[in-house]
Amino acid sequence: MKIGLFYLATPKYGGWVTFTSHLYRSLHRIGCQVYLFKISKRTEPNQRPFCDGIKYQNIDIETAKGMAEQFPTIVTASDKNYAIETKTLLANGANVVIHDPTEMKGELLETVRENGIKPITIREVNVKNLAEAGVDSTYVKHPYLRFNDDPKPKTELAVATSRIDFDKHTDIIIEANKSLKREIKIFGAENRLYGFHKLDQIDRRWRRNYYGRFQGRFGEVFKILNPSRYMIDMSAIKKDGGGSQYTFLEGWDAGCVLILNRDWGIGDSDVMKENHNCLYAQNAAELIDLLNRDEKHDEIVEAGYAGLKEFEGESIARQYMKLVA
C-alpha cells in the first residue's frame, strides 16, 4: 500500500526528524510504498537528503492536496511556519501526529476540530491534554528500530545527546560538570541563544565538554553512546512526560543507564519507571550524587532492553496503517 508522509516543520534535527525517520523505515519494513514530502512553492523532480539516508521530495500545495485525497497521508510534524499547508492537508484527508503540548495551539487544534480529525499522539499524557482542549486523540508509542545489538565495554562515565536547549535543561548538566571529577560529555545541536544567555552565565568554559552535534546517519549516535555507562537527559516539558523520547530509546539500545529529570516522571508513567528502567535526578546535586556513586545497575539495563520491545517498529507501523488506511 502507498502512504505519504509530510514533514511540515523547520527543524533539521531532533525528535521530530528522528520520529519521521523511524516511522518511514518501519512502514517500509511491513511492505508499504512510503513517500516523504515537504511542501514548497513548486514541485521539484529530484529528491533531497532528509536524514539517515532517507530522501524527500519538495512538492507544491496543489500536488500535496491531490496526494492526500488519493492515498493515506500523515503529517509527521507541523509547526507555525506551515500552518496553511497543514490545514490544507487535514482538510483533504490527512492525519497528523501531535508530539507534545507546545504544538497544542489554537490554529492546529481548530483545524483538527473543523475536519473531525482524531490526531495521533506519542505519549499517553497528551491524550488527556488534548481532551482538555476538546480533541479526541489516539495514543501510539514511538516506532523504534533497533540498531545496536552488539553491546560494547563501558569505558566512559556519562554522555548527553539531546539538543542543547531550554526544554532540555542542559543547564543542570553544565552545573553538575562544575563539580564532577569525570565530567559529562555533551553532544547535540546547540540553540545559541540558550548557550549565550543561560549556559555561559553558569560556566563560560562549558564548551570544554561540548563535542558538537553528531552526524545524522542511522546508527551514528551509538559511536557516542556505546562506551558510556550513563545517558543523561534532563528534558522537562510543562504538562508532558512519563513516556518515551528517542534519546531514551537509543540509550536503552546502547545498554546505558538512563538518568532523567524527575519532572519528566509525572503521574503514573506508562513507560519510564524509576529504579526499574531509569533513574531520576531533580537537580545538579542529585545528578552529581548518582554519578559519583556510580553503582552497578545491571537490572536497569536489562529492563531497558526489555522495554524496547514495546516500541518495535514493525508492530507500531501496523498500528499506524490501521488508523489511516
pLDDT tens by residue, 220-270: 899 999 999 999 999 999 999 999 999 999 999 999 999 999 999 886 677
pLDDT tens by residue, 98-132: 999 999 988 899 999 999 999 999 999 999 999 99
Backbone angles phi, psi at 149, to 5 degrees: -100, 20
CB 77 within 8 A of CB 97: yes
Cα–Cα distances (Å) from 315 to 139, 277, 309, 310, 325, in that order, read 14, 22, 9, 9, 15
The stretches of 181-242 forming alpha helices (DSSP H) are 192-194, 200-202, 222-225
- Residue of 220, 218, 217, 168 whose CA lies nearest to 195: 168
Tell me, rounded to whole angstroms, the distance of Cα 263 from its chain centroid.
17
pLDDT for residue 47: 97
pLDDT reading at 4 higher than 90: yes
pLDDT for residue 152: 78
pLDDT for residue 107: 87
Least confident of 96-100, 145-149, 197-201: 145-149
User: What average pLDDT does this structure show over 285-311?
Assistant: 97
Burial class (CB in 10 A: 0-12, 13-18, 19+), 196: exposed
Confidence grade of residue 284 (pLDDT, cut at 50, 70, 90): very high
What percentage of the chain carries pLDDT values higher than 90?
A: 91
Confidence grade of residue 217 (pLDDT, cut at 50, 70, 90): confident
CA 301, 306, 308 angle in degrees (round to 5)? 100
What is the model's pTM?
0.95
pLDDT tens by residue, 150-185: 777 999 999 999 999 999 999 999 999 999 999 999
